[in-house]
Amino acid sequence: MITGYFNYWVVIILMMMGFYIVISDSNLIKKIIGLNIFQTSVFILFISMSKVKGGTAPILIAGADVYSNPLPHVLILTAIVVGVSTSALGLAIIAKIHRAYGTVDETIIHEQDDLQDEN
């Protein structure tokens, strides 16, 4: 059971770890790291399902007639690009937040906003 679905167990563990970091951590940069782990677990999910038992890499070579499915790899290439852009944009916004608030900690930012509301 565990060995048969090894990749999928890894996916679930990574996914939950990433998700937990996003929800629980108040440091904005760590949240982005959590988001990356979360997204990476989905990449592994896609790559794992494309494996065909006994298949080689999907390149035409003599002597091979079973190939792994290349389509999920292509999809994930796109998803990786999306993920990189998301992280880059997230970090850019954090840089601007740091300039405006002088911190990257969510609780301090909320305190500053509340303070501003009272004045």
Backbone phi, psi, residue 56, to 5°: -100, -175
The correct pick among 57, 82, 108, 111 for binding other proteins (CB under 8 A) is: 82
Let me know: does 9 contact 2? Beta carbons within 8 Å: yes
Residue 58 DSSP class: S
Q: Does 57 bind other proteins (CB under 8 A)?
A: no
What is the x/- site pattern for other proteins, positions 20-49, by CB under 8 A? --x-----x--x---x--xx--x--xx--x
Which 3 state secondary structure label does DSSP give 69?
coil
90 contributes a contact to other proteins by CB under 8 A: yes
The packing angle between helices 71-101 and 28-50, to 10°, is 180
Using CB under 8 A, list all residues that contact other proteins: 19, 22, 28, 31, 35, 38-39, 42, 45-46, 49, 71-72, 75, 78-79, 82, 85-86, 89-90, 93-94, 96-97, 100-101, 109, 113
